[in-house]
Structures are given as structure tokens and as C-alpha cells.
């Protein structure tokens, strides 16, 4: 398939899913982002491509799309050169090149909102090469919040377990993804005490129950405060509607559409704790590639 055909197919899928979700989608907004990365992504043929919705007010009316790109592309330089983002002088803008200079990278992914435009760049570390937090905290442009929470992360067994970093440019936040952690991290007593120690609201029973099936934990840090903004627990499922989680009818329609498309029926559902309350995120894989399992270290925790 040619690059342009693959991009056109992806664009139609985005348009269709956006319609199902009542999210306004315009070609003028989405196409430049696809086109910026489409040429680089080997016709997107090898990429993992996912759609994501979330249940909180901040994400209402939005559909996020993310796809992987190979490591020989510099995704931030490309975003700048194509005018998808602008240099602001904030350390978030330097973080990716600092990571590139200090850490092994397996591949990247980019994330954009159909409404909000270009948002994030993820760098995945190679399978089996999770990074030590001390190395990440030593990165000059990294949020100091990582350093300030280092002993807390170590106490919860997350110290050497960073498998991915996500930089959110408009929000000026950084996500640190921990995978391959011990199963104990997902037990209710551990979840409860982690949330209490980080001054998050107490979790609902539903959140505690959901977190038990988790394979990954991730935190969102800003550069403004040492406080951890959000903590998420993510679980794989093939049937999100069977989870003990409230999903609105429009999300039900999205799930059914993605399930009916055949294929692998892979979903990652995550529960997020934030000072504004708990919410759920649902990521559906439009194009799954088996190699992503190693990157996510998504096997059941040991
Ligand atoms: C989870 O975080 C998403 C990823 C790790 C990206 C996976 C993408 C692929 C193409 C494999 P998030 O970006 O949804 O978190 P947030 O809630 O902070 O937006
Ligand atoms: Mg987001």
C-alpha cells in the first residue's frame, strides 16, 4: 500500500470514529499531522495505531489518535518544522533531545487530538532495557518533581521500571510509564497507600478493583510543583464493556465499532486519579502489531 493510501485510510477511520463519538473532525486540522509523519512511518504499515477516549470533563468532545514512528525520525524536530508546535523556551521542549542523548530508544509515538491538535511525543525504551529513575532524574530538562519523588517511587518498587516517557507539549507535563513491576503494586493496600502518600483523593472501590488487573502504572509530572498530578493504572482487555467501569453509551458505540472491525480486539483501559477526581481512559488499537507487547511489557505482572 502506498503511503498516501494508508494515510487516507487512517483519515477515514478517524473521521468515522469521531462521528460516532460526536467529536467534530476536520480534514484541515487532522491531515497536516498525518501528512507530517505519514511519509516517515514506512507508509504507517509497521506502526501501531490507537484511538483513545476519556471520561473526564477535560477530555469531553475529544478523540485522541496515537501512532508509533521509527527511531530514525526525530519527531520533535519534525513537529517544529511542520509548524505543529512552536519552540517556547520551556524545558519540555528540550526534554526529548536530552533523552535522545542519554537513553536508548526503541521507537517513538506521537499523539494528537482530533480537536486539540498535536499533543505528545512518547519515547519507548527497548524491551528489557527499562531505565533507572536516577538516570532519568539526572536529565537536565527533566521536571525536578521526578527527583523529589524518587524515594517514594523506589519504595513502591518502581525505581528501575521506566519503560516509556511521554511529553505533553501544550500541557507542559511529562508522563513516566512503569511496567514489569511486581504484582503487589496493584494490590488494594498498595494502591491506597500510594494515592494517600501523593495526596490524591481516596480511590473508589471500583478503582481499587479495576487496578488489581493492572499491568502498568504511570504518573504525570509538571515542572511547576513537586506534586504528582495524576496517577494511572492500566489494564489490557478485549471487552471493555465487561469491566467494572461506567462507560457512557457513546463510548459503547466506539467499543462495538472497534470490536466489529475484527482483528485483535485489543484495548487498554486505565483509571486515573487526579485532584479533580477519578476518570477512565480507553485506548483501542486500530492497528495492532505484536511487537508492541514487548514494549509495553504488558504480560501479567510477576
Ligand atoms: C498512555 O498514556 C498511552 C501510551 C503509552 C501511548 C501508546 C501509544 C501507542 C501508539 C502504542 P496517555 O497518553 O493516554 O496518557 P494521558 O492520560 O496523560 O493522555
Ligand atoms: Mg492526555
* Total count of domains within the chain: 1
Ligand 1 center from residue 165 Cα (angstroms): 10
- Residue 131, ligand 1, Cβ within 6 A: no
Q: How many CB atoms lie within 10 A of CB 276?
A: 13
Q: 121 lies in a domain?
A: yes
User: Considering just the CA atoms, what is the radius of gyration of the chain in Å?
Assistant: 18
* DSSP collapsed to 3 states, 77-109: HHHHHCCCCCCCCCCHHHHHHHHHHHCCCCEEE
Predicted local distance difference test score (pLDDT) of residue 301: 39
Q: 211 lies in a domain?
A: yes
> pTM for the complete prediction?
0.96
pLDDT tens, position by position, 80-116? 999 999 999 999 999 999 999 999 999 999 999 999 9
Dist. CA 235–CA 233, nearest whole Å: 7
Q: 90 lies in a domain?
A: yes
Dist. CA 202–CA 24, nearest whole Å: 35
Q: 301 lies in a domain?
A: no
- Contact between 139 and 119 under an 8 Å Cβ cutoff? The reply is no
The atom number, within ligand 1, closest to the CA of 295 reads 11
Predicted local distance difference test score (pLDDT) of residue 300: 41
Predicted local distance difference test score (pLDDT) of residue 40: 63
Mean pLDDT by 10 residues, the chain (302 residues): 79 96 97 88 80 93 96 96 97 98 97 98 96 97 98 96 97 97 96 97 96 96 98 95 90 94 86 94 93 72 37
Q: 257 lies in a domain?
A: yes
3-20 helix and 249-260 helix, angle to the nearest 10 degrees: 150
pLDDT tens, position by position, 244-263? 888 999 999 999 999 998 76
Range of the domain at 120: 3-296
The atom number, within ligand 1, closest to the CA of 166 reads 13
Q: 302 lies in a domain?
A: no
- 249-254: long-range pairs with CB below 8 Å, 24+: 250/20, 250/21, 250/22, 251/21, 251/53, 251/55, 251/282, 253/20, 253/21, 254/17, 254/20, 254/21, 254/51, 254/53, 254/282, 254/284
Q: 71 lies in a domain?
A: yes
- Residue 285, ligand 1, Cβ within 6 A: no
Predicted local distance difference test score (pLDDT) of residue 43: 59
Predicted local distance difference test score (pLDDT) of residue 248: 92
- Residue 278, ligand 1, Cβ within 6 A: no
Amino acid at each position: 500500500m502506498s503511503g498516501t493510501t494508508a494515510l487516507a485510510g487512517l483519515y477515514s477511520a478517524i473521521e468515522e470514529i469521531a462521528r460516532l463519538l460526536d467529536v467534530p473532525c476536520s480534514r484541515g486540522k487532522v491531515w497536516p499531522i498525518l501528512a507530517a509523519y505519514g511519509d516517515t512511518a514506512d507508509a504507517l504499515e509497521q506502526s501501531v495505531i490507537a484511538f483513545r477516549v476519556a471520561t473526564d470533563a477535560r477530555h469531553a468532545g475529544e478523540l485522541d489518535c496515537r501512532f508509533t514512528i521509527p527511531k530514525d525520525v526525530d519527531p520533535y524536530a519534525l513537529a517544529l518544522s511542520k509548524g505543529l508546535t512552536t519552540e517556547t523556551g520551556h524545558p519540555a521542549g528540550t526534554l526529548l533531545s536530552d533523552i535522545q542523548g542519554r537513553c536508548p530508544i526503541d521507537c517513538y509515538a506521537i499523539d494528537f487530538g482530533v480537536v486539540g491538535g498535536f499533543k505528545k511525543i512518547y519515547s519507548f525504551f527497548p524491551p528489557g532495557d527499562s531505565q533507572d529513575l536516577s538516570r532519568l532524574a539526572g536529565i537536565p530538562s527533566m521536571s525536578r518533581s521526578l527527583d523529589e519523588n524518587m524515594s517514594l517511587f523506589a519504595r513502591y518498587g518502581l525505581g528501575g521500571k521506566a519503560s516509556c516517557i511521554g511529553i505533553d507539549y501544550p500541557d507542559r507535563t511529562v508522563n513516566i510509564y512503569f511496567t514489569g513491576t511486581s504484582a503487589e503494586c496493584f494490590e488494594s493496600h498498595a494502591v491506597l497507600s500510594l494515592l494517600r502518600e501523593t495526596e490524591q483523593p481516596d480511590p473508589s472501590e471500583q478503582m481499587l478493583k479495576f487496578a488489581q488487573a493492572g499491568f502498568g502504572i504511570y504518573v504525570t509530572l509538571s515542572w511547576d510543583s513537586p506534586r504528582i498530578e495524576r496517577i494511572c493504572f492500566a489494564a489490557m482487555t478485549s471487552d471493555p464493556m465487561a469491566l467494572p467501569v461506567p462507560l457512557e453509551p457513546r463510548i459503547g458505540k466506539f467499543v462495538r465499532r472497534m470490536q466489529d472491525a475484527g482483528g485483535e480486539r485489543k484495548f487498554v483501559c486505565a483509571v486515573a486519579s487526579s485532584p479533580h477526581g477519578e476518570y477512565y481512559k480507553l485506548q483501542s488499537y486500530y492497528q495492532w502489531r505484536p511487537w508492541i507487547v514487548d514494549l509495553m511489557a504488558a504480560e501479567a505482572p510477576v
